[in-house]
Chains A and B, each alone.
Chain A
Amino acid sequence: MAVQNETGDPPAKSRGGSVPSFVYDPVVRGYVFQFLLAAVLVWLAWDIASNTAENLQRANIASGFGFFDDRAGFEIAQSLITYSSDSSYGDAFIVGLLNTLLIAVLGIIFATIIGFLVGIARLAPNWMLRKVATVYVEIFRNIPVLLQLLFWYKAVLSVLPQPRNGIEMPFGANLSNRGMIIPRFIPQDGFAIVVIGFAIAVVAAIVIARWAHARQMATGQQFKTMRVVLALIIGVPVLLYLVTGMPLEVEYPVLTGFNFRGGIALKPEFIALLLGLSIYTAAFIAEIVRAGIKAVSWGQSEAAYALGIRPSLTTRLVVIPQAMRVIIPPLTSQFLNLTKNSSLAVAIGYPDLVSVFSGTVLNQTGQAVEVIIITMAVYLTLSLSTAAFMNWFNSRMRLVER
C-alpha cells in the first residue's frame, strides 16, 4: 500500500473514496487483529487448562488447595512464628514468606548503606579510595549472584570453627559454623510500658519536626530538631526502662551437648545469603548513586557556594535532593531485584518461600501446579506493590516546577 501510494494515482486513494476496501481500513484491521489475538489467547489458555486437567486426572494426581490445612510433618530451620512439624502446610507457607520478607528487608537496608558509601567513594577526591571502590564495583557486579552466594556459604562454613571451639564474642555471643548465636532479650511484665513510651516519643518527634519545619519556612528561624528528636526517641524509652525496673531478661546461649541452647541463632545460611545479596546489589546501587550525583550539574554546587553555603550543607541541601530524583527509579528496580534474587536461597538451604514452599511442600504434596502458581503470585504481588509504592514516593519527590 505504501509503495503504491508513491507511484499510483492519488485521488483514487482518498479517504472518502467510493470503494473503501475493508482490508485496508485501519480501524477494521485493528478490530480484526485484536479479535484474532484475543481468540488465540483464549484458545491457548483453554488448551493449557484442559491439558493440565487431563494430565492430572489421567495420572491420578490430587488437585485443589485442600492441602493447606494438612499436617506438614517437617521441621523448618528458621521461623519467625511458632512452627513445629504439627503445623499445617499453610503455616509452612507463612514461615517461608516471612523468611523471604526478612531477608529482603535486611538485604535492602545493608545493600543501600554499602551502595551509597561505595557510590560516594567512587567520586571521592582521594585516588586510592576511588580505585578501591571501582575495583569493588567491577568485581562484584560482573559475577553471577548465585556463584557469589555459594562462595560465601562455603567460605563462611570453612572459616568458622565447630561450636565446641566457637569464637567468643562480646555480650555472650558466640560465632561458630552453626552461626552467630546472640543473647535473646525476653520481655517481662511492664516492658509494654517502655514500648508504648517509645511509640509516643516517635509520634512526638514527628510532630516537633513538622512544627520546626513550618516555623523555619514561615520565619526563617532554625530549630535544633535533630538533638531534640534524638533525645526524645532514645531518652524516653531508656528512662521508662529504668523506672519500670529493667523488665528485660537476658537469655545467654549455653553450649549443651551438640549445640547452643537459648539465645537467637543467626544461621550460616542466613549470614551467607545476607552477605551475598547485599554485596552484589550494593555494587549496582553504587553505580546508580554515582550516576545520580554526577547528573547534578556542577553549576548547582557553584551557585550554592556563591550564596555562601558551606560544602557539607551544599551536599545535603542542594546536591542530594536533586540526585535522589535520578537515583530513586533505578534504585527501586534494584530493591525488586534483590527481593527476587533472595529466591536463590534454595541453593544454600535458607528456608525462604521458594525453598520451603516450592521445595519441600511441593515435594511432599506433589501438587506442582498449585504450589508454583501460589509462589509466583506472591512474588508478583511483592513486585507490583513495591513498584506502586515507589511510584507514589517518586511522584512526591519529583521536581515541582513553579
Chain B
Amino acid sequence: MTTQSISYVSTAEIPSSPPPGNAKGFPAWARQNLFATPLNSLTTILIGLFLAWALPPILNFLIFDAVWFGDSREACIVEGAGACWAFVNAKFGQFIYGRYPLDERWRVDLVFILFVIGLVPIAIPKVPYKGWNALYLLLVFPILAFILLCGGFFGLEAVETSLWGGLLVTLVVAVTGIAASLPLGVLLALGRQSKMPVIKMASVIFIEFWRGVPLITVLFMSSVMLPLFLPPGTNFDKLLRALVGVALFSSAYMAEVIRGGLQAIPKGQYEGAAAMGLGYWPSMYLIILPQALKIVIPGIVNSFIALFKDTSLVLIIGIFDLLGIVQLNFTDPNWASPVTPATGYIFTAAVFWVFCFGMSRYSLFVERRLDTGHKR
C-alpha cells in the first residue's frame, strides 16, 4: 500500500509572486483611499478644487508676497503686499518681554533657561530622580524665577510687573496657574471624595462655583472686587490679582480631572491600604495618588492646554500678555498698515498653536506609554 507516486510535495519554496500591478504603489493607494466609489471620487475632486482655490492666496499672503524686511510701515503699505513680517521682526523683543527694561532682559532669558532645565527631564519618562526634579520645578524654580523677574534682591534692579508683557506674562500666568492648580486640585478632589460632610460640601461648592462661571468674570472679580474684599489699605499687584483668579479657577478644573483618576482606582486598593494599617494621608500619598495621578496625566495636560489658551483673557483686564502686546502695537503709527493686524494675529496664533499642539502631542505620547497595565 505504500504509494510513493503521489509525492508531489515540492521540496523547494516557490518564490512569492509580486502583487498585481494595480494593487500596489500610489495608484492602488489612490484607488482605495481617494476613488473607491463615485461619491468618494466626487469628494476628492471637490476638495481638490477647494484647495486649489484656497491655498494659493494663503501661501501668497504668508510667504511669496510677504514683506520680510523693512524699517517702517512704508515697506508694508505697498499695493498687494502680503503679511508684514518686518513688523513682527521689528517688535519681536516687545512681543517676548513686553516693556521689561532692555538691560535686564538677560534675567528673563535666564528664567526661561532654568525652566527648560527643569521641564525637559521631567517630561522624558526615562530620566531618573523625578522626585528631586519635581521639587526643583515646584519649589526651587518659582523662588529663583521670582527673585530674577521681580528683582529688588541681591543688587538686582526691581522691575515692576506693569512693565512685564508679551510671552513672558503669558508664560508666567500659565505656569503659575498650572503649578498652583495641581496641589489645590489634589486637595479639592480628595475633599470631594471625603466622608466628612462639611469638607465634602465645601469642596463641591468651591468646584462647582468656579466651573460654573466664565473666566472673564473671575478676572473682573479679581481686578474690580478683590481690592474691596481686603482690609482697607491692603494692596495687591494687578498681575498677582489675576494670578490668584486664574489659579483658583484652574484648580477647580484640575480637581475634576483628578477626581476622575481617584474614581478609577479599584476599591481593593483603598482596602489594601487600610489593611496595611496605613492612615488616610499615608495611604493617599503612598498608594492612591501615585496611581490616580498616573492615569490622569493626559487629562492634566489637557487642562494645561486649556489654561494656556485661557491666559489670553488677561488682556481684557489690561494686562499685556502676548496677544495684548501684539494688539497694542497695531496702533503704533510707525507700523500701521492694512496688513499689520492680520500679520500680528497670525504670528500670535502660530506661537499659541506651537505650544498647544506640542502639549497635546506630548499628552498622546504619555497616553500611549501608560496604555499598558491598566486595561482590563
Kindly identify, within residues 340 to 365 of chain B, every residue whose CB is under 8 Å from any CB belonging to chain A.
341-342, 345, 348-349, 352-353, 356-357, 360
Q: A38-B198, A147-B349 are in contact. Are A380 and B47 (CB under 8 A)?
A: no
Q: Which of B60-68, B86-94, B225-233 contacts A (4 or more CB under 8 A)?
A: B225-233
Q: Which residue of A lies closest to B305 (CB)?
A: A142
- Cα A58 to Cα B233 in complex, Å, equals 11
In the assembled complex, the Cα of A375 lies from the Cα of B315 at a distance in Å of: 20
Chain A binding surface SS class? helix
Contact of B279 among A2, A372, A380 (CB under 8 A): A2
Chain B residue nearest to A55 (CB atoms) is B228
Q: Does B199 lie within 8 Å of A34, measured CB to CB?
A: yes
Main secondary structure of the interface of B (DSSP, over half): helix
Q: Which residues from chain A contact B277 at a C-beta distance below 8 Å?
A: 2, 5-6
B323 and A375 form a contact (CB under 8 A): no
Does chain A have a CB within 8 A of B235? no
User: When each residue 151-180 of chain B gets 1 if its CB lies under 8 Å from chain A and 0 otherwise, what string results?
Assistant: 000000000000000000000000000000
Q: Which of B47, B220, B356, B360 contacts A372 (CB 8 A)?
A: B220
Whether A34 contacts B197 in the complex (CB less than 8 A), given A142-B360, A146-B315, comes out as yes
Given contact pairs A37-B198, A143-B352, A147-B312, A344 touches B224 in the complex (Cβ within 8 A): no
Q: Are B225 and A143 in contact (CB under 8 A)?
A: no
- Write out the residue numbers on chain A whose beta carbons fall within 8 Å of the beta carbon of B209: 380
Binary flags per residue of B305-321, CB closer than 8 Å to A gives 1, else 0: 10001111101100000
Of B4-12, B36-44, B126-134, B264-272, the segment with at least 4 beta carbons within 8 Å of chain A is B36-44
Q: B184 an interface residue at 8 Å Cβ cutoff?
A: no
Give the residues in chain B near A35, CB-CB below 8 Å: 198
- Segment at the interface with A among B101-109, B141-149, B211-219, B290-298: B211-219
Interface-side segment among A46-54, A84-92, A319-327: A46-54
**Is B27 an interface position by the 8 A CB rule?**
no
Q: Is B183 an interface residue (CB 8 A)?
A: no
By the criterion CB–CB under 8 Å, are B341 and A154 in contact? yes
B77: CB under 8 A from chain A?
no
Task: Give which listed residue, B40, B214, B338, contacts A158 with CB less than 8 A.
Answer: B338
CB contact between B309 and one of A55, A143, A340 (< 8 Å): that residue: A143
Contact A51 B232 (CB under 8 A): yes
Instruction: Provide the residues of chain A in CB contact with B278, threshold 8 Å.
Output: 2
Q: How far is it, in angstroms, between the C-alpha of A49 and the C-alpha of B229 when the chains are bound?
A: 7
Assembly CA distance A390 to B111 (angstroms): 45
**List of B residues within 8 angstroms of A125 by Cβ:** 33, 36-37, 40
On whether the beta carbons of B36 and A2 are closer than 8 Å, the reply is no
Segment 324-360 of A: residues with Cβ below 8 Å from B = 340-341, 343-344, 346-347, 354, 358
B57 — which chain A residues lie within 8 A by C-beta? none
**Distance in angstroms between the alpha carbons of A51 and B229 in the assembled complex:** 6
Indicate if the CB atoms of A126 and B316 lie closer than 8 Å.
no
Q: Tell yes or no: B74 within 8 A of A by CB.
A: no
Name 10 interchain pairs, CB-CB below 8 A, sorted by A. Answer: A56-B228, A126-B33, A126-B34, A126-B43, A127-B34, A129-B47, A142-B305, A144-B311, A147-B323, A379-B212
Instruction: Give the total number of A-B pairs whose CB atoms are below 8 A apart.
Output: 158
Q: 7 closest A-B pairs (Cβ-Cβ)?
A: A127-B33, A142-B356, A383-B212, A340-B214, A34-B198, A144-B309, A343-B214
Residues in A131-164 with C-beta less than 8 Å from chain B: 132, 138-139, 141-148, 150-151, 154-155, 158
Chain B interface size, as a band, is 35 or more
Not counting A54-B231, A127-B33, a sample of 9 additional A-B residue pairs whose C-beta atoms are within 8 angstroms of each other reads: A26-B280, A58-B232, A125-B37, A126-B33, A128-B44, A147-B349, A148-B349, A154-B341, A384-B212
A376 touching B282 in the complex, CB below 8 Å, given contacts A54-B232, A146-B315, A147-B345: no
Minimal beta-carbon separation of B265 from chain A (angstroms)? 19
CB of B286, distance to nearest CB on chain A (Å): 9
What residues of chain A lie closer than 8 Å to B310, measured between beta carbons?
A: 144
A60 to chain B, nearest CB (A): 13
- Residues from chain B with Cβ under 8 Å of A55 in the complex: 227-228, 232
Contact with B along A14-56 (1 / 0, CB 8 A): 0000000000001000100111011001000000100110111
Q: How many angstroms between the C-alpha atoms of A125 and B30 in the bound complex?
A: 11
Q: Which residues of A contact B (CB under 8 A)?
A: 1-2, 5-6, 26, 30, 33-35, 37-38, 41, 48, 51-52, 54-56, 58, 124-129, 132, 138-139, 141-148, 150-151, 154-155, 158, 340-341, 343-344, 346-347, 354, 358, 362, 368-369, 372, 375-376, 379-380, 383-384
Contacts A41-B202, A154-B341 given; does A343 touch B43 at CB 8 Å? no
Collect the chain A residues with CB atoms within 8 Å of residue B220's CB.
354, 358, 372, 375
Contact A142 B357 (CB under 8 A): yes
Measured between beta carbons, the chain A residues less than 8 angstroms from B48 are 128
> Complex Cα distance A2/B284, Å?
13
Shortest Cβ gap from A341 to chain B (Å): 7
Mark B residues whose CB is within 8 Å of A. Answer: 33-34, 36-37, 40, 43-44, 47-48, 51, 195-199, 202, 208-209, 211-217, 220-221, 224-225, 227-232, 277-280, 282, 305, 309-313, 315-316, 323, 327, 338, 341-342, 345, 348-349, 352-353, 356-357, 360
Known: A126-B43, A144-B352. A368 touches B224 (CB 8 A): yes
Which listed residue (A34, A143, A340, A384) contacts B196, Cβ 8 A?
A34
Pairwise interchain contact A154-B214, C-beta atoms closer than 8 A: no
Q: Is the CB of A126 within 8 A of B40?
A: yes
Q: How long is the Cα–Cα vector from A126 to B34 in the complex, in angstroms?
A: 5
CA distance A127 to B35 in the complex (A): 10
A351 to B282, CA, bound (A): 53
Assembled-state Cα–Cα distance A1/B286 (Å): 15
Q: Are A380 and B231 in contact (CB under 8 A)?
A: no
CA distance A34 to B211 in the complex (A): 24
Could you tell me the distance between the alpha carbons of A375 and B214 in the complex, rounded to whole angstroms?
Answer: 10
Give the docked Cα–Cα distance between A40 and B349 (Å).
Answer: 44
Q: Smallest CB-CB separation from A52: which chain B residue?
A: B228
Report yes or no: B198 in contact with A384, Cβ–Cβ below 8 A. Answer: no
Asked if B213 and A142 make an inter-chain contact with CB atoms under 8 angstroms apart, the answer reads no
Contact A343 B216 (CB under 8 A): yes
* CA A255 to CA B285, docked complex, whole Å: 71
B213 contacts A128, CB within 8 Å?
no
